[in-house]
Amino acid sequence: MKNMCKKLAIILSLILLNTPAIVAEQSIQQNPIQDRAILAKEYFNIGSSFLRLKKYHEAIENFDIAIKYDPSYASAYNSKGIALADLGKSLEAVENYDLAIKYNPSYAGAYINKAVSYRKLRKTEEAII
């Protein structure tokens, strides 16, 4: 009986010691979407910093990573479009503005940026629509 109580005490101790690790592992497994959103935001912020520094290629790389983590990240598409437009790639910029609008139809900035790019391409009719 004494040995049995000792064995039960050891087993209970091992279970209690492993409980925090199990809980932590479960919480990590339950939050991959949140983690991806956080990573997308961080890469977007890095890209925005490069954009302000006029380092357009680096900005685009980081916006692409943000989009990889959150394919519906409208602000990342819009900002990537701005970087592309500043590099003289107006058609590619318009494609990104269209994606920003697709994922956020009320994104006024994307509509404005799209119109500006069309105007640079001398496509006045498209700029108005």
Higher pLDDT: 48 or 19? It is 48
Whether the Cβ atoms of residue 79 and residue 44 lie closer than 8 Å to each other: yes
Q: What percent of the chain has pLDDT over 70?
A: 71
Shared domain check, 107 and 82:
yes
Domain containing residue 7: 1-30
Assess whether 36 and 26 both reside in one domain.
no
- Residue 12's pLDDT is 47
Do residue 11 and residue 21 come from a single domain?
A: yes
Residue ranges of the alpha helices (H) in 53-107? 56-69, 74-86, 90-103
Contacts of 71 (CB under 8 A, 6+ apart): none
Element (H, E) at 41: helix 32-52
| 102 shares a domain with 48 | yes
Q: What is the pTM of this model?
A: 0.73
Quote the CA–CA distance of 22 and 116 in Å, as a whole number. 54
43 and 59, same structural domain?
A: yes
**Better pLDDT: 125 or 80:** 80
- Of 3-12, 38-47, 55-64, 70-79, where does mean pLDDT reach its minimum? 3-12
Give pLDDT tens digits for 57-85.
999 999 999 999 999 999 999 999 999 99
Q: What is the mean pLDDT of residues 47-52?
A: 98
Three-state DSSP at 73 gives coil
Query: And the tokens for 42?
Result: 């961080």
How many domains is the chain partitioned into structurally?
Answer: 2
- What is the average per-residue pLDDT within 100-125? 92
